[in-house]
């Protein structure tokens, strides 16, 4: 597509709205994975680079379940359960032993996990044909559309928005209206004080990793029908998710979602439209989206919703 073919942003309202709504949908996926990153960062100060690959791994398991004729909903639940167990397991066996190590060591450990899960997934599922197709949710297919007056939306994108909303509401309820959620937040804020309240800090951290892994897995299962499953499925997702998390402020769950959606929309618009004589196109779309991130961080270094990190010395 060159400049002559690229539509002008003000010429085509319907296409513009289509792209915005689709951007909300893909942005929700980035938001879900960003949420996973934020949940872990908030409670353990660890940036989990393996978040996307953990999601990839369990999504591949989901693919195998679908091949074995497991019903979608049942598969979804099984994958979530597996993701939770995997997150808890990783926290307990890999992260906890390096808990007090310097930040760089922990970063390297999660990069190691990235490689391990990626290679393991390719080892197990890479023998056959790649990429593998993954089913959309029962709500609607990736190629079917809902046609509204103002815009057209692929049914699977609609499903993504619904499910992402569901995940956010569930997490909101957990953190703000349950004793367990309050204890998890307390643990994230001050571990010593949490112990003095009688909170089992280790258990809360494990639970935080489990929840994060589950949010990531939802992202994996929702993106797979769009871009198929192979070793690189999560690469752009995790890149955008990091950008979304940082844009939102890195310690703010709503910020992660808003950041994800902002990046999803920007990416879609940039890849589709020309602004006057300027057309960036798909090749540089990611760069343009990330440029906005840089711009925001220059103006507001803590991100849109982030707190100033106060460290007492």
Partner 1 sequence: MLKVRDLHAAYGPILALEGISIDVPEGGIVTLLGSNGAGKTTTLKVISGLLRPLSGTIEFMGKPIHRRSAEDIVSMGISHVPEGRQLFVELSVMENLRLGAYTRNDKAAVKTDLERVMGYFPILAERREQKAGSLSGGEQQQLAIARALMSRPRLLLLDEPSLGLAPLVVRGIFQIIKTINREEGVTILLVEQDATLALNAAAFGYVLETGRVVIADESARLREDENVRRSYLGY
Q: Is 300 in the site for partner 1 (CB under 8 A)?
A: no
Residue 193 binds to partner 1 (criterion: CB under 8 A): yes
Q: What phi-psi label fits residue 276: left (phi over 0), alpha (psi between -120 and 50 degrees) or beta?
A: left
Stretch that binds partner 1, among 20-28, 118-126, 185-193, 271-279 (CB under 8 A): 185-193
b/e per residue 15-46 (b: at least 16 CB within 10 A) = ebbbbbbbbbbbbbbbbbbbbbbbbbbbbbeb
**List 186, 227, 288, 304, residue binding partner 1 (CB under 8 A):** 186
Q: Does residue 170 belong to the site contacting partner 1 (CB under 8 A)?
A: no
Exactly one of 133, 195, 275, 278 binds partner 1 (CB under 8 A); that residue is 195
The residue ranges of DSSP E strands in the chain, in sequence order, are 145-147, 152-154, 274-275, 278-279
Residue 190 contacts partner 1 per CB under 8 A: yes
Q: Give residues with Cβ within 8 angstroms of 202, minimum separation 6.
A: 96
Which of 183, 280, 293, 296 is close enough to bind partner 1 by CB under 8 A? 183
Q: Is 178 among the residues that bind partner 1 (CB under 8 A)?
A: no
Minimum separation from the CB atom of position 42 to partner 1 (A) = 10
Measured from the CB of residue 37, what is the shortest distance to partner 1 in angstroms? 19
Residue recorded with tokens 């949940």 = 39
Q: What is the spatial distance between Cα 216 and Cα 224, in angstroms, rounded to a whole number?
A: 12
Hey, is 218 helix, strand or coil?
Answer: helix
Q: How far is the CB of 193 from partner 1 (least distance, A)?
A: 4
Q: Which two tokens stand for residue 158?
A: 């609609």
Stretch that binds partner 1, among 114-122, 141-149, 195-203, 263-271 (CB under 8 A): 195-203
Q: Among 116, 182, 226, 285, which residue interacts with partner 1 (rule: CB under 8 A)?
A: 182
Binds partner 1 (CB under 8 A): choice among 5, 68, 192, 313: 192
Residue 122 contacts partner 1 per CB under 8 A: no
One of 170, 197, 275, 284 touching partner 1 (CB under 8 A): 197
Q: Give the CA angle between residues 144, 150, 152 to the nearest 5°.
A: 15
From 29-37, 88-96, 191-199, 274-282, span contacting partner 1 (CB under 8 A): 191-199
Residue 38 CB contacts under 8 Å (≥ 6 apart), including other chains: 245, 248, 250, 251, 252, 253, 255, 256
DSSP state letters, 233-289: HHHHHHHHHHHHHHHHTSS-HHHHHHHHHHHHHHHHHHHH-EETTEE-HHHHHHHHH
According to DSSP, residue 91 is labeled: I
Contact region for partner 1 (CB under 8 A) — 4-12, 52-60, 140-148, 175-183?
Answer: 175-183
Q: Which stretch binds partner 1 (CB under 8 A): 84-92, 135-143, 197-205, 266-274?
A: 197-205
Binding site for partner 1 (CB under 8 A): 179, 182-183, 185-186, 189-190, 192-200, 307
């Amino acid at each position: 597509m060159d400049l002559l073919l690229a539509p002008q942003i003000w010429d085509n309202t319907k296409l513009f709205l289509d792209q915005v709504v689709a951007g909300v949908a893909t942005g929700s996926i980035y938001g879900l994975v960003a949420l996973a990153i934020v949940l872990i960062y908030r409670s353990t100060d660890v940036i989990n680079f393996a978040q996307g690959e953990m999601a990839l791994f369990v999504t591949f398991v989901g693919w195998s379940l679908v091949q074995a004729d497991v019903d979608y909903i049942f598969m979804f639940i099984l994958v979530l359960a597996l993701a939770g167990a995997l997150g808890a397991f990783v926290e307990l066996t890999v992260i906890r032993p390096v808990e007090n190590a310097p930040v760089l060591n922990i970063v390297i450990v999660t990069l190691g996990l990235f490689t391990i899960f990626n290679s393991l997934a390719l080892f197990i599922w890479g023998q056959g044909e790649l990429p593998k197709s993954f089913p959309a949710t029962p709500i609607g297919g990736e190629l079917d559309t809902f046609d509204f007056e103002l815009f057209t939306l692929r049914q699977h994108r609609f499903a993504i928005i619904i499910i992402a909303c569901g995940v956010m509401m569930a997490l909101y309820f957990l953190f703000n209206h349950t004793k367990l959620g309050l204890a998890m937040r307390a643990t994230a804020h001050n571990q010593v004080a949490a112990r003095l309240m009688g909170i089992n800090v280790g258990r809360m951290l494990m639970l935080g990793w489990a929840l994060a892994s589950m949010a990531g897995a939802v992202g994996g299962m929702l993106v797979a029908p769009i871009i198929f499953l192979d070793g690189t499925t999560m690469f752009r997702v995790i890149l955008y998710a990091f950008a979304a998390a940082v844009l939102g402020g890195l310690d703010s769950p709503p910020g992660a979602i808003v950041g994800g959606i902002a990046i999803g929309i920007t990416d879609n618009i940039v890849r589709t439209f020309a602004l006057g004589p300027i057309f960036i196109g798909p090749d540089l779309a990611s760069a343009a989206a990330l440029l906005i991130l840089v711009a925001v961080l220059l103006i507001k270094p803590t991100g849109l919703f982030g707190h100033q990190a106060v460290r007492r010395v």
